[in-house]
Copies of this chain bind each other. A is one copy, B any other.
């Protein structure tokens, strides 16, 4: 793709040029960007406070490391991107809900979704598993089948990994390796930008809610949980047509993840309640309560894309996107000054979204 300008003159998109320039090393003009990127900017929440504590202050990144913590992937010179993603039995999945093959599939899909969140091309995966020694062999093979299938869908394979005994739950850690000439970061949104999402939201969270009540989710909701599709092709299609200003994947819910987007650019995002594309299979399912928006906003694990673009820039592409991928592309909000994420009701009332997505350390049990 050659060299792109650091800040495209026609937009505020922060794209890292990684063609020849990236390979030849960074010139002085890159330093302000490197400094800017070398920050951990995350939305609010106890988990993210902890991450802010864990990741050191603004120490220099390693040689050839272009983006460190605080985005979906680490970005290395030459356009390589790397991310790591945990999946824990009893937290991310339960054996009563899914087969181990499905658990492996969704763990890999979740990890691959971090490549989608950079608009990167997938290259390979490393699979680590902590296994019950008494059934290690059969469990490992079943998990691996699912991981390998999710990889195959994206045209990649398992390149390596690690295995260990676990006296507790199954734990998977999946490292994904990808490549992008111009990885799209979380930062880069400007006031006035539009916020968009791909696909239907809330299906996975609703399935979990039904399982926890002892019900069986309808097939479409179960499928949303068990076999999410990382939006890798969709992200690359979009990034190839329109400058994406900020991009993230929806792993923790629209509230929390748009909070990261807002924080990364130092502004606020206002979601229009009526525009949120609620998964159609939530309609009429008993047991989901009287606030179905809870699922897209807080449910998490939809693994759809959430991104900002300049006003009007995407409109001409909506039809062909939907034709190409068979999923909706929906404008759900806008960027304004201030901080945080707000929800605008149909009648125009705007309220701040207090709770921001699933928290691993709130004491509440998910799975």
Residues of A near any B CB (own CB < 8 A) = 23, 47, 50-51, 53-56, 59, 61-65, 68-71, 73-74, 76-78, 80, 82-88, 90-92, 122-124, 126-131, 133-134, 136-137, 140-141, 144, 148, 156-169, 171, 173, 175, 177, 179, 360-363, 366
Contacts and interface: CB of A to CB of B under 8 A. Distances in A.
Contacts of A157: 56, 59, 61-62, 68
Given A50-B137, A50-B140, A361-B136, A130 B171 contact: yes
Contacts of A90: 167-168
24 contacts: A23-B78, A51-B163, A53-B137, A54-B127, A54-B140, A54-B141, A56-B157, A61-B159, A62-B123, A74-B126, A76-B80, A83-B160, A86-B129, A88-B164, A88-B171, A91-B167, A92-B164, A126-B175, A128-B173, A133-B360, A136-B361, A165-B366, A167-B169, A168-B169
A175 B86 contact: no
A63 to B, nearest CB: 6
Contacts of A361: 131, 133, 136-137, 165
A130 to B, nearest CB: 5
B74 A160 contact: yes
Chain A contact surface mostly: mixed
Nearest to A51: B163
A177 B360 contact: no
B360 A65 contact: no
A84 B161 contact: yes
Contact of A84 (B47, B59, B140, B175): B175
Contacts of A362: 133
Contacts of A61: 124, 157, 159
B363 A133 contact: yes
B159 A69 contact: yes
Contacts of A175: 82, 84, 126, 175
A56 B148 contact: yes
Contacts of A77: 78
B163 A360 contact: yes
Contacts of A59: 157
Contact of A124 (B65, B71, B78): B65
A96 to B, nearest CB: 14
B88 A166 contact: yes
Contacts of A71: 160
Contacts of A87: 164
A167 B171 CA distance: 11
